[in-house]
Amino acid sequence: MAEGDPRARDGAIRRVGLPHHEAGGVAVHERRADRGNRVHARPRSTLATPGVRGGRARGSRRRPARGLCGRPVRGAALHSDQRPRWRPCGESRRRHVYLSTGHVGLEGPVVSHPRTLIVVDRGAQAAVVETYAALAGGVYWTNAVTEAVVGEGARLELFRVQREGPESFQVATTHSRQERDSYLALHVVAVGAALARHDVSTVLDGAGAELILNGLYLLSGAQHADHHTVIDHAQPHCASHEFFNGVLAERARGVFTGRIIVRPGAQRTDSKQTNNNLLLSTEARADSQPQLEIYADDVKCTHGSTVGPIDQNQLYYLRSRGLSPEAARSILTYGFGAEILDRMRHPDVRARLDRLVRERLGGG
């Protein structure tokens, strides 16, 4: 939503600014048209918020700062902070919040440290989109942290779209914690940056919690992208389903390390992890390391990965129907990426990402 949008002036949308370091910044657009969940979103200039510790812990100079989810936060003292919060209020309706941050074309190298805290209280629902994009070229570094707490019976759908500039660098961290009977769907799409790393960790800390983790990375040229995920099943009767697909062309390299932990006592866990990689050239490279750590006996857990070129049988089938080699390859490549998009429930965001994937891959 642009700042000049008329809805921002007539009160239908309220734009909440955020203090930022140099080019970094996060804006929250809050819909107020319905009478569903109230949204509390206000900027904070420091990390001294309830439940959040910034800087080093008292009495220890070696312990890193920990965020709302109890996980270490790299460079916590550098981050801007915003904490939207959803509370159930009477009739419950779905409200969508859009967060974006990116380079604004300043001259010279730029560094930004955006930090976002999302708290979805008991019974509330939210859909959030984070977009990291470059409005102009140049060298810059984005060091982003997002933390989410999904309360009992709450539902959160979080989209993270990374389409940084071709000369940029990004290091990102996403931590989340789920309480009893909560639902979290986290969708990660990465198409930009020369070098990018994204660490994702989730703790299923309440019985009956469900996690959907989808990822898609589309790389070309000399791009390098790392995705490291940790799913921690700390309570029984929880489910997690993780699917990551990567398309790598030219000299691009993708790294996926996925780790699923099933704690003692986390019985009746249902977990699945899959990483598939499509190589479009002989110089492209994909490193995949799915991992399972199981300390309970009554569980259902699977993991696996694939790395390889386009299936020649599928290519032959399409060409036998009259398609050119280029069109056949384009359709198969797009279909490989669309497998992840089809797992997204939000139709508007899915359509937007579909256009991004088509533009990137040239899919029909």
Question: Average pLDDT for residues 341-355, to the nearest whole number?
Answer: 92
Q: Average pLDDT, whole number, for the chain?
A: 79
What's the pLDDT tens digit per position in 120-157? Answer: 999 998 888 898 888 777 888 999 999 999 999 999 99
Q: What is the pLDDT of residue 358?
A: 92
Instruction: Look at residue 82 in the predicted model and tell me its pLDDT.
Output: 55
Q: What was the pLDDT predicted at 136?
A: 73
CB atoms within 10 A of CB 72: 12
Tell me what pLDDT residue 151 has. 95
Q: How many CA atoms lie within 13 A of 50 on its CB side?
A: 2
pTM: 0.77
CA quadruple 308, 313, 319, 324: dihedral, nearest 10: 10
23-48 tens-digit pLDDT? 233 333 333 333 333 333 333 322 22
Q: Could you read off the pLDDT of 78-96 as tens digits, one per residue?
A: 455 555 555 554 445 555 5
Beta carbons within 8 Å of 180's beta carbon, 6+ residues apart: 152, 153, 206, 207, 208, 209, 235
Better-predicted residue by pLDDT, 359 or 49: 359
* pLDDT (tens digit per residue) in 189-231: 999 999 999 999 999 999 999 999 999 999 999 999 999 999 9
* pLDDT-based confidence at residue 110 (cuts at 50, 70, 90): confident
Structure tokens at 67: 């965020």
Q: Is the pLDDT of residue 69 over 90?
A: no
Taking only the tens place, the pLDDT of each residue in 232-254 is 999 999 999 999 999 999 999 99
